[in-house]
Amino acid sequence: MQPKSGKPPRSARLATTGVELSRAAQVRLAWMDFYRRTQNVALTCRHFGIARQTFYRWRKRYEPLDLTTLEERSHCPHRRRRPTWTFLLQRKVLTLRLRFPRWGKDKLAVLLREQKFTVSTSMVGRILHQLKRSRQLVEPLRYPGPGSRRPLRPRPYAVRKPKQYAVSWPGDLVQVDTLDVRPVPGVVFKQFTARDVVSRWDVIQAHGRATAYAATQFLETLLHRMPFPIRALQVDGGSEFAAGFESACQQRGLHLFVLPPRSPKLNGAVERANRTHTEEFYQVTACSLEMKKLNRELRQWEKIYNTVRPHQSLGYLTPHQFLCQLSSQRKE
């Protein structure tokens, strides 16, 4: 069908002008040609299945003598925001991020304010983005987390946590779990992790194997390092938390709650702790393979975790700051 106007068909026009349009621009040119023949916006939109708002926007932009007006335009702003931070602040953010590779803008902003820097969380995020674009900061690789547990066996002392058991104060419930650590191929050891569900205070210790004897040793460490008395522990069905460990809890008068089968989500606090220690310590630290040296390094990381690292769940306080604040409120 020959167009009513004297203009040549679309293909001929493209060949005459020598303009090479993208596929999307050629489709829009078809809209304009169809509209020129019909002079009916509603019919054109129904024929091509487009919204009227879309058609009107491109018709306003369309210039018959310049077919490139049907091409997409850049959506970048004409005036881009220029960095307002100082070089000193940028270097400080880079230093903190290299020291704590898994900490995001929220935690880094808290540390910077503690060091008397006037900075917003969004500014720290923009600085991190700029550092990544300039290849000054490279994100460490992420690896899959620890595997799931087998169903638990009956226990002579441990019981399921009663529904009426109240958890409102530090030490009311400490979740304990183990983490498989594989720093290099062929080397595997176990990390025992304990987390207080109220204060988020963690205690960690590495052992060659996850046995009841190792768990009992960790219990001694846990009671010594926790800055408050412990009322109850919660564990999964692992064999390391039976036998001697169970007897040790009974002798010390500690409640021992055991999870039902296939329910790691009920130990979610310590499961999340294991992920944090994996991502923020093992994946970014060249740790020692000898147990004594490794446990010294873990003790230093534990101190950073409890006294330096801001926790989002605590309103960006550290567990130590949270305990101090709680203690002051209790005295009042």
DSSP characters over 82-138 = PP-S-HHHHHHHHHHHHHSTT--HHHHHHHHHHTT----HHHHHHHHHHHHHTTS--
Residue 205 pLDDT > 90: yes
Q: Report, as an integer, the average pLDDT of 282-305.
A: 92
Alpha-carbon distance of 279 to 292, in angstroms, equals: 22
Q: 7-55, pLDDT tens digit by residue?
A: 445 555 665 556 688 899 999 999 999 999 999 999 999 999 999 999 9
Question: How many degrees, rounded to 5, is the angle at CA 290 between CA 289 and CA 294?
Answer: 80
214-271: per-residue pLDDT in tens?
999 999 999 999 999 999 999 988 888 988 999 999 999 999 999 888 888 888 999 9
- What pLDDT is recorded for position 1? 43
Q: In this predicted structure, what is the pLDDT of residue 212?
A: 92
C-alpha span between 69 and 61 (Å, rounded):
6
Predicted local confidence at residue 78, as pLDDT: 81
Is residue 283's pLDDT more than 80? yes
**The predicted structure's pLDDT at residue 305:** 95
pLDDT band at 200 (very low <50, low <70, confident <90, very high): very high
- pLDDT the model gives residue 4: 45
pLDDT value at residue 152:
42
**pLDDT, tens digit, for every residue of 127-179?**
999 999 999 998 887 766 554 445 445 678 888 889 899 999 999 999 999 99
pLDDT digits 0-9 by tens, 87-115: 999 999 999 999 999 899 999 999 999 99
- Residue burial 117-148, b: 16+ Cβ < 10 Å; e: rest: bebebebbbbbbeebeeeeebeeeeeeeebee
Predicted pLDDT at 149: 47
Greater confidence, 78 or 312? 312
User: What's residue 307's pLDDT?
Assistant: 94
CA dihedral 32, 33, 38, 39 (to 10 degrees): 40
pLDDT at position 148: 45
pLDDT reading at 5 higher than 80: no
Mean pLDDT across 281-300: 91
pTM above 0.75? no
End-to-end CA distance of the chain: 90
Instruction: Indicate whether 3 pLDDT > 60.
Output: no
